[in-house]
Amino acid sequence: MKAKQRSKSMKIILYMNLILLLLIIIHVARKSENNFSPPSTITLPTLHLIDVAFRNQLITERLASYSQSYNNSLGVCNIKNSLNAEQEKIFPRISELLITLRQQIVTYPNQYFNGRGIILTVGSSQLELARVNLKMIELTRTRLPVQLWYSSSQVSQKFMLTLLDRVPKLNASICCFDTAQCKTRNQIWQLNSTNVYKPITGTLWKHFPYKPAAIISSTFEEVLFLDSDAYVTRDPEDLFLSDPMYLKFGALFFPDSYLSRQHPVVWNLFNTTCGDHEYELDSATILVHKKIVWNGLYMAKLMNDNHELFYQHVTDGDKDTFRLGFRYMNVKYYLVMTPCATGSFDGTRFCGWTLCKTDSLAQHIYINHVHIFKYENIKYTSANLGYTRIGLGDPNNNSFFFTHCRLPGASTSCFHIIKQPNPHITNSNCYTGGVPLEDIENHQYTLNESLLFDNSRKNRVLFSKTNHLIPNFVDNLLKYIE
C-alpha cells in the first residue's frame, strides 16, 4: 500500500517535472525567437549603468581632447621622405583640381531631405552580404527605414527586389541612380533627378565611388551608411537621437587600424594642418547629418568622382576622401577612436578579424564590420567570432596600440589592441604577447548596460566572449551568413 502510494507520488513528481521542462522549453524557444531581448537570469549581477554625471564628465573631456587633437598640438608630421617625381608632377594638378571642384559644390537643398534612415550601396558582388545585412537590421526591430542604392548598369531591378523578400518587417526600398526611382515590393515613386547625385564611375571595377553619392542622394536628412558587411548589433536609432558627438558635429567616423599614411604635402594641398596622428577611416560605417556637414560630404563626392587621381595619389580607396574633403571645406567631424575587434582566442593569443564600432562615449557596440573573413578566407564559425577585445580610452589620447599585422609564420593577419607601451610590441609593429589576465571580463552585458560606465574603466581593455559584449551577435550572424 505504502509502496503504491509512493510510486503514485513519484509519478506525480515526474509529471510535474515533465510539465516544468516543457514550460522551460517553450519559454526558451520563445526567447530565442526574440533574440535582441536581454536574457532573463535568475541571479542578477550588478548592472553596469552609466549615470548623468559621468556621462557629462566624458562629454567635457572628449570635447577638450578633440580640440587639441584636431589641431594636432604637436604640429609635426612624421613622414619626412621627399616627394618622388610623379608626386612632384601630380600634386600641383590636384591643387588646381580642388579649387575647381570647390566651385562645383551645390548648395544644400533646403526642405528636400527628411527623416533618418540607413543606406547601403549594392553592386553585384555585394548582393549576398547585403541580404545578411538586412536580416541583421530587421532583428534589431528598428523603426529606421532603409534605402538600397544601386546602378541598373550593375544589378537589375528584379534582382534588387529579391533583397526585400526576406525582410518583411523592415521598411526597405531600392533606389536606382540611373532612373532616380525608388521602389518597394508594391510601390514605386520618382525622385526629382536634380537631387540624385549620380557617381561618376568610369572604368573602375571597385564600387567605392558610390558611397558618398548614395549618402547625398538618399532622401534622408540624417544617414547611417553601412557597407554590406558592416552589421548592426543593436538598434542604431539611439546614435541619431542621443550620441553627444554626433549631435554636436553632425558626423561620426570610425577608424581603420592605420595611422594616416598621407605625406605632409598632401595635408597642405588640402589647406589643413597635418593630421598624421589621426587614424585613417574605416569608411564601412558613416553617420552624418547632411544639413550640418553638406559641404564636406559634397566635396568627398566630387573627390570620388575623380577617383583616378585621388585614390591613387592621396587616399587608399574612398576612405580618406571623407576626412580630407571635410578638412578642405572646414567641416568638422568626430572620429570615434575606440579600438574594437572580434576574432578567435586559442587560450593565449587573440587574433582580431573584424572592426567593431561604438558610440562616441563607448557605451555600447553598435556595428561590427566583418571584412577580413572574406579577404583571408576565414570560415564564419562561432570559434572564429568567439571573442571580442575593446579598448576604452579617450578617443583622442591614442592610449592603445591598435594595428593590423601578421606575425611571422601566422596563417592570417590580425587586429591587435593592447595598452602601450608593452614589451611585446615588436619592431615590425606587431604584438607578440597573449591576452593579459587583467583584461578578461566575464560579465554578460544586457542591452541597457554600458561598457564604459565609471572612471575606473578608463584606459581599460576588455576581453570577453563576443556574445557577452554584444548580446546574441554571433548566434544571429551565423544564422544568416553563408
Ligand X SMILES: *[C@@H]1O[C@H](CO)[C@@H](O)[C@H](O)[C@H]1NC(C)=O
* Contacts to ligand X by CB under 6 A: 38, 47, 49, 67, 70-71, 95, 98-99, 109, 115, 117, 145, 171, 192, 194, 271, 332, 393-394, 397, 399, 446, 448, 458-459
CB of 234 to ligand X, least distance (A): 13
How many residues comprise the chain? Answer: 482
Beta strand 334-335 with 251-253 is parallel
| Nearer Cβ to ligand X (134/351) | 134
Q: How far apart are the first and last CA of the chain?
A: 62
| Nearer Cβ to ligand X (146/378) | 146
Cβ-count burial of 326 within 10 angstroms (0-12 exposed, 13-18 middle, 19+ buried)? buried
Give the closest residue to 243 by CA, choosing from 3, 55, 464, 409: 55
CB of 271 to ligand X, least distance (A): 4
CB of 424 to ligand X, least distance (A): 16
| Nearer Cβ to ligand X (93/374) | 93
Number of other CB atoms surrounding residue 454 within 10 Å: 13
| Nearer Cβ to ligand X (117/199) | 117
Give the CA angle between residues 50, 55, 60 to the nearest 5°: 160
The order of strands in the sheet holding 181-183 is 188-190, 181-183, 172-176, 146-150, 116-121, 222-226, 285-289, 251-253, 334-335
| Nearer Cβ to ligand X (145/343) | 145
CB of 81 to ligand X, least distance (A): 22
**Contact call for residues 462 and 451 (beta carbons, < 8 A):** yes
CB of 420 to ligand X, least distance (A): 7
**Contact call for residues 191 and 181 (beta carbons, < 8 A):** yes
Paired with 270 in beta bridges are none
| Nearer Cβ to ligand X (190/203) | 190
| Nearer Cβ to ligand X (325/393) | 393
Q: How many CA atoms lie within 13 A of 368 on its CB side?
A: 31
Cβ-count burial of 364 within 10 angstroms (0-12 exposed, 13-18 middle, 19+ buried)? buried
CB of 114 to ligand X, least distance (A): 8
CB of 433 to ligand X, least distance (A): 17
